[in-house]
Amino acid sequence: MRISRAGLLVVIAIMIPILVELRTVLAYFSVSISVMETVLIGALAVGALVLWAVFPSTDTNRPNGE
């Protein structure tokens, strides 16, 4: 894993308020996003983050295969 499970949980927890506030900021500019669209964007972002975190890094310069 590229990031610890605790670190991944923290990043996901930070993403939730960012998505909610992004919806608020877009509404300020007259861009309307429904709650379902926000949930879909959040699910895609969390899924991409988890995929990135699960696959091992291709960095071969690390000692002991870490």
Asked if the structure places residue 19 within a domain, the reply is yes
Cβ(1)–Cβ(53) below 8 Å: yes
Tally of domains in the chain: 1
Q: What are the respective helix, strand and coil percentages of the chain, to the nearest 5?
A: 70, 0, 30
Confidence band of 64 (pLDDT split at 50, 70, 90)? low
Burial (CB count within 10 angstroms: exposed 0-12, middle 13-18, buried 19+), residue 23: middle
Task: Express each pLDDT in 1-52 by its tens digit.
Answer: 788 889 999 999 999 999 989 999 999 999 999 999 999 999 999 999 999 9
Asked if the structure places residue 65 within a domain, the reply is no
Asked if the structure places residue 23 within a domain, the reply is yes
